[in-house]
Amino acid sequence: MTNEYVRYEPYFRKAITQFVDDICKSMGSQQNRKTLYQLGLYNMDNIAKIRDLKSFQLGKLISIDGTVTRTTEVKPELQIGSFKCKQCNQIIDGVEQQFKYTEPLRCTNDKCHNALDWEMV
């Protein structure tokens, strides 16, 4: 799993959301659907130093040890997008973004054949 973490991460995210939804239902409350949950793992075997990180480790699950000496402004990352078809105004929700801006492949409206003309909502 550690070598292909990027492949499994969307399934972990969906499982966490489903788990929180089940807990909320059992307590008689509603889950906020806009809340994004993340998985935190601790006590991993392999620990890498920050200065020893290499590009081949991208997408792998690793532990990092080091001291942060400088930070920059936090910039939001789009993880799930909603798009409006400019031809029929259909809204397509839940388009996952995988390390780049990703538009829907085609409109979900059966009568519309749009695959290129989108507006981000």
The dihedral of CA 41, 46, 49, 51: what is its sign? Answer: negative
Give me the tens of pLDDT residue by residue for the chain, a chain 121 residues long: 678 787 888 888 889 888 888 888 888 777 666 777 888 888 888 788 888 888 888 878 888 888 878 888 877 788 889 999 999 999 999 888 877 888 999 999 989 989 999 999 8
The amino acid occupying position 93 is D
Which residue reads 């991460």 in tokens? 9
Which residues, at least 6 apart from 51, have a Cβ–Cβ distance to it below 8 Å?
66
Q: Are the C-beta atoms of residues 50 and 65 closer than 8 Å to each other? A: yes
Tally helices (H) and strands (E) across the chain.
Answer: 1, 5
Instruction: State the pTM of this model.
Output: 0.47
Rounded Cα–Cα distance for residues 22 and 46 (Å): 33
DSSP string, 14-66: HHHHHHHHHHHHHHT----TTPPP-----S-S-EEEGGG--GGGTTS--EEE-
**Predicted local confidence at residue 76, as pLDDT:** 77
